[in-house]
A and B are shown apart, each in its own frame.
Chain A
Amino acid sequence: MTSRAMTLAGLFLLLLTPGTGGSQVPGTDGAGDHGGPHGLDGHGANATNKAFPVLSFDYKHVQMPFEISLWVLLASLMKLGFHLIPRLSSIVPESCLLIVVGLLVGGLIRVVGEDPPILGSQLFFLCLLPPIILDAGYFLPIRPFTENVGTILMFAVVGTLWNAFFVGGLLYGVCQLEGTHLGRVDLMACLLFGSIISAVDPVAVLAVFEEIHINELLHILVFGESLLNDAVTVVLYHLFEEFAAAGGVTIKDVFLGIVCFLVVALGGILVGAIYGVLAAFTSRFTSHTRVIEPLFVFLYSYMAYLSAEVFHLSGIMALIACGAVMRPYVEANISHKSHTTIKYFLKMWSSVSETLIFIFLGVSTVAGQHHWNWTFVICTVILCLVARVLGVVGLTFMINKFRIVKLTTKDQFIIAYGGLRGAIAFSLGYLLDKVHFPMRDMFLTAIITVIFFTVFVQGMTIRPLVDLLAVKKKQETKRSINEEIHTQFLDHLLTGIEDICGHYGHHHWKDKLNRFNKKYVKKCLIAGERSKEPQLIAFYHKMEMKQAIELVESGGGVKIPSAMPSTVSMQNIQPKKPTERALPQLSKSREEEIRKILRTNLQKTRQRLRSYNRHTLVADPYEDGWNDMFLKRRRVMELGKKLNNYLTVPAPAPDSPTMARARLASDPQAWSIKPKSDSIPTIQVDLASPQSPDSVNMAEEEEGLMMKAPSSSADQKERKRDKEDGVEQQRLARCLSDPGPSAEDDEDEPFLP
């Protein structure tokens, strides 16, 4: 097939290639003018004949994508460059450097004579902001967020309102003073300006707080506030815009404003939740088309954002709600690779977006028309700071009455200091209509000054301040299985105590929600068996998987890294007289699946890699390296061993996978390479490639991620060992890559060849 295809392709190409000037095939002269747009005039004897252009320059039709790509490339190269300079990234936060770069680039463009582009609101709100917010929402730590949601809401709603009115009102007072030449600025415009400038910006907060690794509580408070205040900002902005155009305010308008706020916030969340449920439901059926799974996540989230924006609801809250709602169900449904893809795509997009936003901020500063008014600008900066501090202190005083774990002065300082303004304020200011707001340029100048001040001054000094004040940093402890058990235990305990007291409190409702979730929602949204998996088991499997990968990456079975740096092994833990334990029953289907996997693994002869197919996830060629490694060093983990033994040897005292692995890891001498001997039947197992590109056996893939059956004890018969190790490396390799082999081959062959 290939040789014929090659000749056909070659002929085809030859026919398509336009003849170059002068080498035309004789005989086509007469038909000549179809040579191209610069067609030949007559038969070549004409003196005004232009030669056929070999190389031409046509920039216009690629201009737009070319420039966009150039900007993105510039942004990425800048990011790269910062981290190459050793000292710079530890002193100056990235956002500052990027703004400076933007200033330089803007200046350069100006010098050249072109008009530097301004960060358009369309571009910002529709393209640059969503990835950052989706990244934040999808990976939002739910537990600390819900535990602090009251505090966060207080800061977001009441705090922002306070800031807006304080700044707006006092600025109006300043404007009324004689000698400032600001008499034209009326109250509504001032309040509008106040509402624009008062919102803490999630992009800036993320950019700065990411680098200082502050403790989880403060991080979630400031960050949560920056996300939730979007609803307030949207409402206030539209409200004051309307009022400024209309001229007057009545009580009815204020009341409508409050209703509008509720509609915007709750509506945004509702829209997001609906799209989240849709995405979760879609992901239930993607088991045959794993490749486009991440696409659904992105598309549904973006649609949620856009749909919310259509109705002027809060797009940010819609995005957060969508990400948070769909995540637990989607993660239970999608494959491991899709999960990794989603994670990395989100991080990549949000990183690029953030970089672009800051660069454009710099460029827009150079590009925009500015109207500098000393009084206005200085007052704005001072008032913003003062308002923030007063707001935080006042609110904390009230909030601490209801909190068990109070916010200390240090916490308050960090919260106040972390209130950074950013590109959202600039974009909102840019959106203002020049006709209604003639002082728009002045506003923009003031906004940019505040942004610069917060990002540069506060951004740069927050890190030494955090160190100086000895604020608690983020604890790098991994979430352990003990913690998970205890948390669940305590949840149930506290719910039980609440029931005994007859009190329907926080835990009672949380428990009810969980039970509703388990009973109805999970069944709809999660495919297959996973819907019944309790949280503890899911967590355990995830942890096992992580440890397995770590073990492999650390060189195969030397020691379990980091988690247990002690010599305690499972032998120490087992009770002196092991109790006889009846073998627990595996469900029939599960047993069948396991059997199927082992059979297919054990019987593969060397398979040729199938021809390349864009729609399949082909097994990594890198896996051959694993193969060698495992064959060389026979220290493998017990992940498959137990399955094998369970099915073939009824072992007296089954061990858990952890136990066997731990023993293995702590006692490396136990598994040395045995000499080949004829009496031991060895099985050559080679890595399999997918047989039929379009069908992937999902059951096996699922099996690859979950380890369920217990293992047998360590004193196994020697003849099993080879087989297990062979199976082992197969299973491990499969754990690390998808998909597994298809199931239809070799069902009837015996278990051992």
Chain B
Amino acid sequence: MGAFHSNPAEQTYRDLAEKTGFSVEQIWILHNRFKQLSHDEEMLRRDDFKAIPDLACNPIRSQIIEAFFDQRNFQTNSDGTAHEIGFEEFLTVMSYFRPPSLNMTQEEKEDLRRAKLRFLFNMHDTDNDGTITLEEYRHVVEELLSRSGAIGQETAKGITDAAMLEVASTSVGHMGPDDVYEGITFEHFLKVCHPFPAVKGKLQLILTAFVHTLFPHYRPRLYIGYTGVHWA
């Protein structure tokens, strides 16, 4: 492993490690990447994200980029969107994707899972009113189908309606004909996501692979497949 930076930086890294749960080496790697993306500046802007070539063909690119600038994800109890972010915010957002470490208690694991699902929820709830309305959900589906042209536009509506109906039915149960279902709240979201084991498993997986590839001498490159089905 290469030499670390000078000591003040190391201290910062240790603080960050405390806060986000990454190890110091991982933070070092991520900082390198941050500097690469921001062309050695202190702050990262939206344009820097847009410049990443592989991201261009991702249908939900804009939502991913927005998630990095969404202040709700910075764990600072603030709202709104930032214009540019520093390394600490970058790291905080990335920390949503780390797997639970082995020495976590059940409660900590539960908190981590909740935080991850909150991150997902925030990605959908763009107007920050605490609920995912039909419009917002439709926007999500349209983005997913955004590469399909006209066919996608019309069926998006049908798909969204069906999906919304399902969520409402499973989370609320009985509503009179005049009640209006405002939207999916976070609690409903948790309930809906609960039986999707595949959904839960995936969030954890990415950073493990990331770590493996970046630290080849820590672990072999080949990592045996994972499954999301079993949730201990």
A607 within 8 A of B: no
Interface stretch of the complex, out of A295-303, A446-454, A477-485, A676-684: A477-485
Question: Please, how many angstroms separate the alpha-carbon atoms of A491 and B145 in the complex?
Answer: 14
Asked whether A405 and B145 contact (CB < 8 A) given A477-B195, A499-B54, A575-B133, the answer is: no
B82 within 8 A of A: no
A632 within 8 A of B: no
Interface stretch of the complex, out of A132-140, A143-151, A263-271, A345-353: A143-151
Chain B: which residue is nearest A508 at the CB level? B54
Question: Please, how many angstroms separate the alpha-carbon atoms of A408 and B172 in the complex?
Answer: 35
* B203 → chain A closest CB, angstroms: 7
Chain A residues in 8 Å Cβ range of B227: 144, 147-148, 151, 217, 403-405
Restricting to A462-515, which residues have a CB under 8 Å from any CB of B?
472, 475, 477, 480-483, 485-508, 511, 515
Taking a contact as CB atoms under 8 Å apart, the answer to whether B151 and A405 are in contact is no
Chain A residues in 8 Å Cβ range of B1: none
Taking a contact as CB atoms under 8 Å apart, the answer to whether B205 and A506 are in contact is yes
Asked whether A502 and B33 contact (CB < 8 A) given A568-B173, A571-B177, the answer is: yes
Taking a contact as CB atoms under 8 Å apart, the answer to whether B164 and A402 are in contact is no
Taking a contact as CB atoms under 8 Å apart, the answer to whether A573 and B152 are in contact is no
Chain B residues in 8 Å Cβ range of A477: 195
A340 within 8 A of B: no
Contact with A along B146-161 (1 / 0, CB 8 A): 0110111111011111
A213 within 8 A of B: no
Restricting to B200-215, which residues have a CB under 8 Å from any CB of A?
201-206, 208-210, 213-214
Question: Please, how many angstroms separate the alpha-carbon atoms of A492 and B63 in the complex?
Answer: 11
Taking a contact as CB atoms under 8 Å apart, the answer to whether A149 and B145 are in contact is no
B3 within 8 A of A: no
* B26 → chain A closest CB, angstroms: 11
Chain A residues in 8 Å Cβ range of B161: 570, 573, 655-656, 658-659
* A512 → chain B closest CB, angstroms: 9
Taking a contact as CB atoms under 8 Å apart, the answer to whether B165 and A487 are in contact is no
Interface stretch of the complex, out of B10-18, B72-80, B105-113, B218-226: B218-226
Taking a contact as CB atoms under 8 Å apart, the answer to whether A480 and B166 are in contact is yes
Restricting to A546-583, which residues have a CB under 8 Å from any CB of B?
563-576, 579
Interface size class on chain A is 35 or more
Question: Please, how many angstroms separate the alpha-carbon atoms of A508 and B226 in the complex?
Answer: 16
* A103 → chain B closest CB, angstroms: 39
Taking a contact as CB atoms under 8 Å apart, the answer to whether A148 and B202 are in contact is no
Task: Tally inter-chain residue pairs, CB-CB below 8 A.
Answer: 256
Taking a contact as CB atoms under 8 Å apart, the answer to whether A505 and B150 are in contact is no
* A709 → chain B closest CB, angstroms: 6
Taking a contact as CB atoms under 8 Å apart, the answer to whether A564 and B99 are in contact is no
A657 within 8 A of B: yes
Q: Contacting A492 at CB < 8 Å: which of B60, B162, B173, B193?
A: B60
Q: Contacting B199 at CB < 8 Å: which of A486, A504, A573?
A: A486
Taking a contact as CB atoms under 8 Å apart, the answer to whether A147 and B225 are in contact is yes
Restricting to A399-426, which residues have a CB under 8 Å from any CB of B?
399, 402-406, 408, 411
Restricting to A527-545, which residues have a CB under 8 Å from any CB of B?
532-534, 536-537, 540, 543-544
B174 within 8 A of A: yes
Taking a contact as CB atoms under 8 Å apart, the answer to whether A475 and B224 are in contact is no
A710 within 8 A of B: yes
Chain A residues in 8 Å Cβ range of B174: 566-568
A216 within 8 A of B: yes
Question: Please, how many angstroms separate the alpha-carbon atoms of A484 and B176 in the complex?
Answer: 28
Question: Please, how many angstroms separate the alpha-carbon atoms of A490 and B178 in the complex?
Answer: 34
* B170 → chain A closest CB, angstroms: 8
Chain A: which residue is nearest B173 at the CB level? A566
* A666 → chain B closest CB, angstroms: 8
A112 within 8 A of B: no
Contact with A along B123-139 (1 / 0, CB 8 A): 10000000001110000
Taking a contact as CB atoms under 8 Å apart, the answer to whether B201 and A404 are in contact is yes
Taking a contact as CB atoms under 8 Å apart, the answer to whether A403 and B229 are in contact is no
Chain B residues in 8 Å Cβ range of A216: 229
Q: Contacting B145 at CB < 8 Å: which of A154, A534, A573, A586?
A: A534
Chain B: which residue is nearest A537 at the CB level? B155
Asked whether A482 and B166 contact (CB < 8 A) given A405-B230, A496-B55, A499-B58, the answer is: yes
Taking a contact as CB atoms under 8 Å apart, the answer to whether B208 and A404 are in contact is yes
Taking a contact as CB atoms under 8 Å apart, the answer to whether A486 and B193 are in contact is yes
Taking a contact as CB atoms under 8 Å apart, the answer to whether B223 and A503 are in contact is no
Taking a contact as CB atoms under 8 Å apart, the answer to whether B210 and A710 are in contact is no
Asked whether A656 and B140 contact (CB < 8 A) given A405-B227, A574-B134, the answer is: no
A24 within 8 A of B: no
Question: Please, how many angstroms separate the alpha-carbon atoms of A537 and B175 in the complex?
Answer: 29
Question: Please, how many angstroms separate the alpha-carbon atoms of A563 and B59 in the complex?
Answer: 30
> Interface centre among B153, B159, B210, by most A CB within 10 Å?
B159
Q: Is the interface of A mostly helix, strand, loop or mixed?
A: helix
Taking a contact as CB atoms under 8 Å apart, the answer to whether B213 and A503 are in contact is yes
B198 within 8 A of A: yes
Q: Contacting B168 at CB < 8 Å: which of A405, A497, A568?
A: A568
* B110 → chain A closest CB, angstroms: 16
For B, the interface residue count at a CB cutoff of 8 angstroms equals: 86
B104 within 8 A of A: no
Chain A residues in 8 Å Cβ range of B152: 534, 537
* B43 → chain A closest CB, angstroms: 16
Asked whether A586 and B168 contact (CB < 8 A) given A501-B33, A502-B33, A505-B213, the answer is: no
Taking a contact as CB atoms under 8 Å apart, the answer to whether A489 and B60 are in contact is yes
Chain A residues in 8 Å Cβ range of B181: 568, 572-573
Taking a contact as CB atoms under 8 Å apart, the answer to whether B154 and A402 are in contact is no
* B3 → chain A closest CB, angstroms: 21
B115 within 8 A of A: no
Q: Contacting B163 at CB < 8 Å: which of A146, A408, A482, A502?
A: A482
Question: Please, how many angstroms separate the alpha-carbon atoms of A488 and B214 in the complex?
Answer: 26
Q: Contacting B64 at CB < 8 Å: which of A497, A536, A654?
A: A497
Taking a contact as CB atoms under 8 Å apart, the answer to whether A405 and B154 are in contact is no
Chain B residues in 8 Å Cβ range of A483: 196, 198-199
Taking a contact as CB atoms under 8 Å apart, the answer to whether B52 and A405 are in contact is no
Chain B residues in 8 Å Cβ range of A238: none
* B163 → chain A closest CB, angstroms: 5
Chain A residues in 8 Å Cβ range of B4: none
Chain A residues in 8 Å Cβ range of B133: 575
Taking a contact as CB atoms under 8 Å apart, the answer to whether A573 and B134 are in contact is yes
Chain B: which residue is nearest A491 at the CB level? B202
Taking a contact as CB atoms under 8 Å apart, the answer to whether A658 and B162 are in contact is yes
Taking a contact as CB atoms under 8 Å apart, the answer to whether A568 and B169 are in contact is yes
Asked whether A564 and B169 contact (CB < 8 A) given A656-B157, A708-B155, the answer is: yes
Taking a contact as CB atoms under 8 Å apart, the answer to whether B202 and A490 are in contact is yes
Taking a contact as CB atoms under 8 Å apart, the answer to whether B148 and A534 are in contact is yes
A113 within 8 A of B: no
Taking a contact as CB atoms under 8 Å apart, the answer to whether B150 and A586 are in contact is yes
Taking a contact as CB atoms under 8 Å apart, the answer to whether B214 and A503 are in contact is yes
Question: Please, how many angstroms separate the alpha-carbon atoms of A307 and B178 in the complex?
Answer: 65
Q: Contacting A481 at CB < 8 Å: which of B163, B180, B223?
A: B163
Chain A: which residue is nearest B231 at the CB level? A405
Chain B residues in 8 Å Cβ range of A487: 196, 198-199
Chain B residues in 8 Å Cβ range of A493: 60, 64, 123
Taking a contact as CB atoms under 8 Å apart, the answer to whether A658 and B60 are in contact is no
A373 within 8 A of B: no
Restricting to A572-614, which residues have a CB under 8 Å from any CB of B?
572-576, 579, 584-587
Taking a contact as CB atoms under 8 Å apart, the answer to whether A143 and B210 are in contact is no
Question: Please, how many angstroms separate the alpha-carbon atoms of A587 and B208 in the complex?
Answer: 45
12 A-B pairs with C-beta separation under 8 A: A486-B193, A487-B198, A494-B205, A501-B30, A537-B159, A567-B173, A567-B176, A568-B169, A573-B164, A584-B150, A656-B160, A662-B165
Give 7 A-B pairs besides A404-B227, A405-B232, A658-B161 with Cβ atoms closer than 8 angstroms: A405-B228, A405-B231, A490-B202, A494-B205, A500-B49, A511-B58, A536-B159
Tell me the A residues contacting B by CB distance below 8 Å: 143-144, 146-152, 154, 215-217, 399, 402-406, 408, 411, 472, 475, 477, 480-483, 485-508, 511, 515, 532-534, 536-537, 540, 543-544, 563-576, 579, 584-587, 654-659, 662, 667, 707-710
Closest 3 CB pairs of A and B: A150-B224, A150-B225, A402-B224
